[in-house]
Amino acid sequence: MKQKIINIEQSEYWNEKSGPKWVKNEDALNERLSILTNELFSRAKIKASDKVLDIGCGGGNTTFRVSKLLIDGGYVVGADISHTLLNHAKSKFSNIEGMKFVHCDAQNYSFDQNYFDKVISRFGVMFFKDPSEAFKNILGSMRTNGSLNFVCWTNLMENDFITEGMDIITKYTQKVLPEVTKDPGPFAFSDREYVKEVLKSAGFKNINIDKVYTSISTKDSVEKDAELLMGIGPRARILSEVNLSNEKMSMIKSEIIQLCEKRKMGKEISYKACLNYITATK
């Protein structure tokens, strides 16, 4: 039975705006997120026989990584609200045993009840229309003592990868970073007490949140790195809302390239990052 998508705004955003950008920049983003992805998997402790749900699986790389850990009847479901991203995932990872992708709104989708041993997510759970209801629904899909493991951003200003270059963009556009709220978005779960409140209200137990300082790094050229910085996140949103000339866009890129150059140590360009790693059980 086809489920109704409740979160229309996020569905449209991840299908029409952000989804195509992720597909275009997927390899570059996966490289940059590799350190934090490794940490997430280390904490999740996925076993070969586990049934796993990957929420907000996007292009499917994390789902595929789970599948490689599974034998003995293990199974993984990658769930996402974006047809754009799931079609991309299916084009790469079709016909892999023990893995499937589901287009759904995880807030109301009828997952198999008491089925999953592990639920994981890399930046995929901060976009629910009603987080408490969504996590109640996810909890119902989990076996008793099953575990939830996800990673999300902390304070915006502790994440250089998101903010680098904004001063330059503000200079040319007179627009500043948007205020962070608890509305659906990348930083909706930056407040640890709020996350605990949401998970507790949904019925989760043994909630633990670790704030981890780490880095996001790339071996891309400074030119490619500058293009990515201008193409994702709040910087891209601001640039898309103003009508700058090609000359001014070129000037912005040139100045951001200089910032990237200053961050380069040896063959890598690095940014400070700060993340919340959350674990909880049913």
CATH at residue 117: 3.40.50.150
* Predicted pLDDT of residue 153: 96
Does residue 181 have a pLDDT over 50? yes
In a domain, 128, yes or no: yes
Single-letter residue type at 265: M
In a domain, 235, yes or no: no
Report the predicted TM-score, pTM, of the whole model to 2 decimal places: 0.93
Give tens-digit pLDDT for 42-90. Answer: 999 999 999 999 999 999 999 999 999 999 899 999 999 999 999 999 9
| Buried/exposed 57-96: b ≥16 CB within 10 Å, e otherwise | bbbbbbbbbbbeebeeebbbbbbbbbebbbebbeeebeee
Distances in whole angstroms, Cα of residue 89 to Cα of each of 36, 63, 99, 247: 21, 9, 11, 37
In the chain, what is the straight-line distance between the N-terminal and C-terminal CA atoms, in Å?
26
- For residue 54, give the H/E element and its range: strand 51-55
* Predicted pLDDT of residue 279: 98
In a domain, 263, yes or no: no
In a domain, 170, yes or no: no
In a domain, 244, yes or no: no
Does residue 14 have a pLDDT over 70? no
Question: Mean pLDDT, to the nearest integer, of 33-40?
Answer: 96
Does residue 156 have a pLDDT over 70? yes
- Three-class HEC string of 204-230: CEEEEEEEEEEEEEECCCHHHHHHHHH
In a domain, 166, yes or no: no
Partnered with residue 19 across adjacent β-strands are: none
Single-letter residue type at 180: V
User: Is the CB of residue 230 less than 8 Å from the CB of residue 180?
Assistant: no
Distances in whole angstroms, Cα of residue 203 to Cα of each of 106, 130, 147, 152, 210: 16, 15, 12, 20, 20
* Predicted pLDDT of residue 252: 97
Cα 33 from chain centre: 9
* Predicted pLDDT of residue 80: 94
In a domain, 81, yes or no: yes
Task: Specify the number of domains making up the chain.
Answer: 1
Grouping H, G, I as helix, E, B as strand and the rest as coil, residue 147 is strand
The per-residue pLDDT of the chain, averaged, comes to 93
Exposure of 195 in the CB half-sphere (CA atoms within 13 A): 27
d(CA 62, CA 47): 15
Q: Which two tokens stand for residue 177?
A: 């970073």
The whole domain housing 29 covers: 8-155+179-215+274-281
Give tens-digit pLDDT for 99-155. Answer: 999 999 999 999 999 999 999 999 999 999 999 999 999 999 999 999 999 999 999
* Predicted pLDDT of residue 141: 98
In a domain, 264, yes or no: no
Give tens-digit pLDDT for 163-180. Answer: 999 999 999 999 998 888
* Predicted pLDDT of residue 1: 45
**Most confident among 5-9, 12-16, 157-161, 198-202 (mean pLDDT):** 198-202
Cβ neighbours of residue 108 closer than 8 Å, sequence gap 6 or more: 3, 4, 6, 133, 137
d(CA 177, CA 163): 8
